Amino acid sequence: MGIVNVTPDSFSDGGRFLRADAAVAHALALAGEGADIVDVGGESTRPGAEPVTVEEELRRVLPVIEGIAEASASLPTRPQISIDTSKAQVAAAALAAGASLVNDVSAFRADPEMAAVVAGAEADCCLMHMLGEPRTMQDDPRYGDVVNEVREFLQERLAFALDAGVQRERIMLDPGIGFGKSERHNLELLRRLDELVALGRPVVIGTSRKGFLGRIVDREAPRAEPAAPAERLAGTIATNVLALERGARVFRVHEVAPLREALAVATATLAGRWTESRGARTRTTQTS
C-alpha cells in the first residue's frame, strides 16, 4: 500500500503532493514500483494534527482520486484506490470517484454513518486502533497489556462492522503503530503480532518513517542531528520484514520498490506465504 499524502502538514512529506497533478503522478509512480493499493489522504493524522473540514478534505482528494482512476485505466495492472478518511461524506464521494477501499483510522467510531457507507458500496475497509485522537494520542499513552487491549478493540470493531453489513472478506485490521503508543508499545505489538493475526483478517502494518524508528537508530549510532523521516528506510524495512514473518499481509509504506524487494527475499525464505496471500487478495479485489 503506497502512501499518497495530499496535505500540507503530514509528518514526513507534507506539502510535496498537495497539487493534484503531483499527487496523481506520485500515485502512478508508486503503482509502477509495485504498489497494489494507493492510499490517498487529505487530512494529516500525525501527532498533534488539527482536523480539516469536509469541504477542504474533498477539495484535496477528489481530483486526485479521479485522476488516478482515469490515468490507471490503461495500465496492465490497475492499483486499488484507497481513501484515508474518517468522514462518511468524504468516503462516499471518494468511492463514487473511483476508490474501492476506505482506510479509517477511527475504525468507524468518528462518524456514525461510515459503516453504512462502506457496507452500501460493498467496499473494502481497514479498521485501525488509535488511542484518543491525533491531537492528543501521544500524550502519555498507557495500557495494561497493549496487545490484549488492541486485540480486544479490533475484535469489537470487526464485530461492529459485520453487524453493519460489511462483508468479512472485505475487512482488514491495523494495530495502529504510532497511534497512541510509546516505543515500547510499538515494539511489543510487532513482537506479538501473531496474536492479532489470529483474529482471522489480513493485518495491515504502517511503520513507515515513524519516529520510534529514528529514536532507536539514534541511540545505536548517535549523530549530530536526529534521523529525519526520510532517513528511516532501513528501520522501516526491518519492521516490515519482521511483521511479515509474524503474519502481516499488507504493508503501508512511502517507498514501495525497496520494501517489495525486501519482502520478496523474506517471502522466498518463508516458503512464499506473502505471494500466496497477495494472489488471494487480488482475486478479492477484482470481484469488487
- Packing angle between helix 54-71 and helix 20-32, nearest 10 degrees? 50
Among candidates 191, 150, 146, which has minimal Cα distance to 173?
150
Are 252 and 204 within 8 A, CB to CB? yes
pLDDT tens, the chain, 288 aa long = 999 999 886 656 556 777 999 999 999 999 999 999 999 999 988 777 788 999 999 999 999 999 999 999 888 889 999 999 999 999 999 999 999 999 999 999 999 999 999 999 999 999 999 987 766 667 778 999 999 999 999 999 999 999 999 999 999 999 999 999 999 999 999 999 999 999 999 999 999 999 999 999 998 877 777 888 889 999 999 999 999 999 999 999 999 999 999 999 999 998 766 554 444 443 333 333
**Kind plus residue range of the DSSP H or E element containing 260:** helix 256-269
Is 209 part of the annotated catalytic residue set?
A: no
Tell me what pLDDT residue 211 has: 92
Is 252 part of the annotated catalytic residue set?
A: yes
Residue 255's domain comprises 2-286
CA triple 125-127-93, angle to 5 deg: 45
Tell me what pLDDT residue 223 has: 76
Q: How far apart are CA 121 and CA 105, in angstroms?
A: 19
pLDDT, tens only, 3-15: 999 988 665 655 6
Tell me what pLDDT residue 10 has: 61
The domain total for the chain is 1
Tell me what pLDDT residue 284 has: 34
Tell me what pLDDT residue 76 has: 85
Annotated active-site residue in 192, 232, 252, 281: 252
**Which CATH number belongs to the domain containing residue 188 in this structure?**
3.20.20.20
CA distances (Å), origin 90, targets 14, 83, 103, 106, 215: 20, 8, 12, 14, 35
Annotated active-site residue in 46, 210, 246, 249: 210
Question: What is the strand order of the sheet 101-104 is part of?
Answer: 2-5, 37-41, 80-84, 101-104, 124-128, 171-174
C-alpha distance across the termini of the chain, in Å: 18
